[in-house]
Amino acid sequence: MLIKIKNKIFDSVEKYLKLKAYRKNSRWFYGKYVLGGIPFHLRVVTYLLKFKELCSYISHIFPRKIGTSDSKGKLTVEQENTHLKTLKENGILIISEYFSSEEIDHITSHLEHDISEPKKSATYGRIEFRNIDRKILSEVLLEPSLLRIISKFYQSQPFLRHSSSVSVTYPDFDDITSRDYYEKDKYDSEVNFANNWHCDTPYLFQCYVLLNDVDLQSPHMLFAKKSIHRPFGLNNYNASEEYVRDNFELEHCIGKKGTIYLFNGGSGLHRLFTKKDGFRLTLETYFTKGNSILDGYLPIKFENPDTVKNLDELQRRSLSSLKI
Ligand SMILES: [Fe+2]
């Protein structure tokens, strides 16, 4: 009951701010977190409502001990360090054809759903991916080199947020920009393609593997390079199209099948670029420093119960917050 009341108040404040932002035609943020023009008392209310949520993250600011990792990865130590540097600089790292075509075929052959004839959709068609064999787990989801890069980036043990999923992106419409999203009020509609520039929950680190060839004519993610270095604070949702394009160089997350992109979605602005009739299939794995674990959601099921025993400490610890 209390939560319902809180949400109602929060919604009303948001609606008011949205309207105010629209009238001011802000060039920075549309919508609920527009900077400037917000009366002080409303800003205080907004922060208070968010306070409890913020408190839940405090314990995760402190790094967790990183498990040792001596498993052989795909990269040499020098390559791992070079990629880490790029990731720290840009907030995103793309490595072309990191996984071979055979490895990708192995993943898709383990999907529990038929993906050969996908239907166009107004939303992501997420597919659960729960039965995981050792090859997929230790060589794809917890690939040692990638996991080491992520742990060094966060300087903390990364934890899998939930079992990975495969997403089918097959939109029946062309791109919707952040401005369209706001002006046409798609925010409240059923369209759910993350077309607005946004950051996700704090400390969310995302690892995507392209399971098909994706080019500029396909739906793909756009990332505002170096945006992780700008503290957005609570102003993290629905950044304006103009602000992003005027201030950042864009990264197009495209590539051949097997290409990966890692990005700090918790503090870097990103959105999906949609293209009518284009098709993208991605394997998505989400890590955090320990917050936002989706308890009970997509628990991991192993075909072979001995699977975990073969993992190194870094890999094993990354599974420790999940129901297995
Ligand atoms: Fe996102």
The pLDDT tens digits of the residues spanning 110-125 come to 776 777 777 777 677 7
Residue 33 has pLDDT above 50, yes or no: no
Q: With a cut of 80, say whether residue 220 has pLDDT above it.
A: yes
Question: 72 alpha carbon to ligand 1 midpoint, in Å?
Answer: 31
Q: How far is the CA of 303 from the centre of ligand 1 (A)?
A: 30
Query: Is pTM beyond 0.75 here?
Result: yes
Distance 21 CA to ligand 1 centre (A): 23
Domain with CATH 2.60.120.620 in the chain: 77-318
Cα 239 to ligand 1 centre (Å): 12
As a whole number of angstroms, the distance between CA 203 and CA 32 comes to: 21
- Among 307, 289, 297, 293, smallest CA distance to 130 is for 297
Q: What is the pLDDT of residue 21?
A: 46
240 band by pLDDT with thresholds 50, 70 and 90: confident
Question: 46 falls in which pLDDT band (50, 70, 90)?
Answer: low
Residue 320 has a pLDDT of 87
Type of residue at 181: Y
Q: Compute, in angstroms, the gap from residue 283 CA to the centroid of ligand 1.
A: 14
| Mean pLDDT, the chain, integer | 80
Taking the alpha carbons of 251, 252, 258, 263 in that order, is the dihedral positive or negative?
positive
Distance (angstroms) between ligand 1 centre and the Cα of 295 equals: 19
> How many A from CA of 306 to the centre of ligand 1?
34
270 Cα to the center of ligand 1, angstroms: 6
Question: How many residues make up the chain in this entry?
Answer: 324
From ligand 1's centre to the CA of 234, what distance in Å? 15
Superfamily name with CATH number, domain 77-318 = q2cbj1_9rhob like domain (2.60.120.620)
Q: What is the Å distance from ligand 1's center to 310 Cα?
A: 32
Ranges 16-20, 173-177, 221-225, 278-282: which has the least confidence? 16-20
- Give residue 237 CA to ligand 1 midpoint distance, Å: 10
Distance 304 CA to ligand 1 centre (A): 33
Centre of ligand 1 from the C-alpha of residue 198, in Å: 6
Residues whose CB falls within 8 Å of the CB of residue 223, separated by 6 or more in sequence, listed in order: 91, 92, 250, 251, 253, 261, 263, 268, 269, 270
Alpha carbon of 200 to ligand 1 centroid (Å):
5
Q: How far is the CA of 103 from the centre of ligand 1 (A)?
A: 26
Q: Please provide the distance, in angstroms rounded to a whole number, between the alpha carbons at the two ends of the chain.
A: 33
- Residues lining ion ligand 1 (Cβ < 5 A) are 200, 265
Residue 158 alpha carbon to ligand 1 centre in Å: 18
3-state SS of the chain? CHHHHHHHHHHHHHHHHHHHHHHHCCCCECHHHCCCCCCHHHHHHHHHHHHHHHHHHHCCCCCCCCCCCCCCCCCCHHHHHHHHHHHHHHCEEEECCCCCHHHHHHHHCCCCCCCCCCCCECECEEEECCEECHHHHHHHHCCHHHHHHHHHHHCCCCEECCCCEEEEECECCCCCCHHHHHHCCHHHCCCECCCCEECCCCCCEEEEEECCCECCCCCEEEEECCHHHCCCCCCCEEECHHHHHHHCCEEEECECCCCEEEECCCCCCEEEECCCCCCEEEEEEEEECCCCCCCCCCCCEECCHHHHHHCCHHHHHHCCCCCC
CA of 188 to the centre of ligand 1 (A): 17
pLDDT band at 53 (very low <50, low <70, confident <90, very high): low
Query: Please, what's the largest Cα pairwise distance for the chain?
Result: 60
Which has the higher per-residue pLDDT, 147 or 265?
A: 147
- pLDDT of 153 over the 90 cut: yes
> Whole-angstrom Cα distance, residue 180 to residue 189?
12
From residue 75, give the alpha-carbon distance in Å to each of 68, 72, 81, 84, 219.
Answer: 17, 8, 10, 12, 29
Highest mean pLDDT among 15-29, 77-91, 233-247, 289-303: 77-91
